[in-house]
């Protein structure tokens, strides 16, 4: 058995085509992401990847919709994610495929 702590990985991303990773693959990425209440996170989109998310803990608003613990939300390629963290949040994110650099910030005047 191998054992790791999530803090060993960049922002909680532990599977994907990057280092460090417990499984290096270009097929998908998995991350357990932590965001604090009020944290400013830039609006962004992916040109190729699709993101499958489940809010494990907390409450947030994204794409004008309130997301609560236990809810699943999906971003298709080109769809802008613009999160507002109303509480401390933990998000389990699966993105496929794993393409480092497939993240594009949206300037505030482009929203």
pLDDT band at 9 (very low <50, low <70, confident <90, very high): very high
pLDDT in the model for residue 111: 47
pTM of the model: 0.90
Tell me the backbone φ, ψ of residue 36, rounded to 5 degrees: -90, 155
Percent pLDDT > 70 in the chain is 96
**To 10 degrees, the CA torsion angle through 60, 66, 69, 70?**
-130
Q: How far apart are the first and last CA of the chain?
A: 46
Hey, what domains does the chain have and what are their CATH numbers?
A: 6-110 (2.60.120.10)
Q: How far apart are CA 36 and CA 89, in angstroms?
A: 6
Q: In this structure, are residues 80 and 44 in contact, taking their beta carbons and an 8 Å threshold?
A: yes
* Mean pLDDT for the stretch of residues 71-84: 97
Q: Per DSSP, what are the bridge partners of residue 35? A: 89
């Amino acid at each position: 058995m191998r054992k790791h702590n999530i803090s060993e990985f960049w922002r909680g991303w532990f599977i994907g085509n990057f280092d460090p990773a417990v499984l290096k693959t270009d097929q998908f990425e998995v991350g357990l992401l932590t965001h604090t209440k009020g944290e400013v996170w830039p609006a962004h989109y992916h040109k190729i990847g699709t993101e499958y998310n489940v809010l494990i803990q907390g409450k947030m608003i994204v794409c004008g919709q309130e997301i609560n613990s236990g809810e699943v939300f999906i971003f298709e390629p080109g769809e802008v994610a613009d999160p507002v963290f109303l509480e401390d949040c933990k998000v389990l994110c699966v993105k496929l495929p794993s393409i480092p650099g497939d993240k594009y910030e949206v300037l505030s005047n482009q929203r």
